[in-house]
Each structure stands twice: as C-alpha cells, then as structure tokens.
Amino acid sequence: MENINIEMKKFEEELSNFHIPRYEDLPDIELYMDQVLALINKQLFIISNNENVITPSMVNNYVKFGLIPSPKGKRYTRKHLCYMIALCFLKQILSMNEIKVLVKEQIKISNELDAYNLFCNELEIAFKNCCEFNLVQSQTNIDNNHCLIYCAKAIAYKLHTQKYIAIMASLSDLDKKSNKKSNDANKKTGEIDKKANETKKKTNEVKKKDDKISSKN
C-alpha cells in the first residue's frame, strides 16, 4: 500500500500542477502531421499511459468525421491544435458522436477560442480539486476505498454528461425538423403565389385579347 501511496502522490502533484497549453502558448506557424503529433504527445503526457495520445490515423478520422477542420495543404494551424488537444481529453469519457454534438452546440453560444480556454480552465480546476479531495480522504485513513470512490464519482459525472449531451442532440434535431417544416411551408406558399401570379397574368392576357376584339368590332 505504501508504494501505491508514493506513486499516487507523485502523480497527484503532476496532475494538480498540469498546465494545458492555451491558444497563445501554441506555435504561431503551420505544422505538418509529424510536428503536430510530436507536440501534442509531449504536451499531454498526463494521459499518455506510455502510449501515443494521438496518431496519424486518429487525426485523419477526426477530419473525416467532421470533428476538426480540414488542414490546408497538409498543414495544421493553432486552431487545429486546440481542437485536437480538447478531443484527446474528451475522448477519455465520450464517444465521437457525443463529442461532435458537444462541440457543435458549444460553439453556438461562444466562439471556438473562448470555448477552448473555458474548457482548459475548468479542467485544470477539476484536476486540482480531485487531488485536494484525495489529500483530505488520506488524512481520514480512507485509502483502499479511494479507487471505488473515484469510480463512483466518475460514473455519476459521465452518466450526467452523456444525458445532457443526448438532450442537446434531441433538441437540435427538433429545431432542424421545425426549420424544415417552416421552409417547406414557405416553399409551398411561394409556389401557390407563383401559380396565382401566372393565372392572373394569363387572365390579363385573355382580357387584353378580348378588348382588342371588342375595339375592332
């Protein structure tokens, strides 16, 4: 148990002091794939577990799935890096579909940069709070149960988050259906107005012909 406490104390110190690079911290130049991978895998060591946090196939899949913008000429900007960093954290608890809904709905209420910075700030606060909770629990001799306590909290937060995202997705679908119905109704109204105008035009043309015939007679 002592070895676990030593390892956890070391990790918690790293976690509580971990800084997620903000937009301003990232290179202000366009990077190629290998440079992007090297940078992100180095920066996000906290979730690596001795494996690459991100790989070329992951990046390509993110682009295909519409989770990040397509690169220009195989080069990636700071904006791409922000998306990838956020995705690396979010995929720890959410599916790609859930992340897509979350990102889409979030940028409706704030721009991408503000949303990214907010996420980074809140995640760093959560890291610190997590480690402070463990410190308090250690002082009350609750040690072997720590893992179960954290699992219970993680499950609760995950279920809550997934439900919230599911509701957002459902409301978004309703908005789409409502907009489609409104557009269809407007289209039909336009078609009716068009036919009415055509009928009126034909009526006027017939009237003109009748008037000409009457004037001749």
Mean pLDDT of 188-192: 67
The pLDDT tens digits for 88-137 are 999 999 999 999 999 989 888 888 999 999 999 999 999 998 887 665 45
Asked if residue 95 and residue 25 are part of one domain, the reply reads yes
Asked if residue 105 and residue 58 are part of one domain, the reply reads yes
Q: How many domains does the chain have?
A: 2
* Distance in angstroms (rounded) separating the CA atoms of residues 81 and 36: 7
Asked if residue 85 and residue 188 are part of one domain, the reply reads no
Considering 102, 122, 144, which residue would you say is the last residue of a domain? 144
Secondary structure (3-state) at 76? strand
Considering 144, 179, 199, which residue would you say is the last residue of a domain? 144
Instruction: Provide the domain limits for residue 108.
Output: 2-144
Asked if residue 151 and residue 139 are part of one domain, the reply reads no
Considering 88, 110, 144, which residue would you say is the last residue of a domain? 144
* Distance in angstroms (rounded) separating the CA atoms of residues 163 and 199: 54
Asked if residue 137 and residue 154 are part of one domain, the reply reads no
Total-model pTM: 0.74
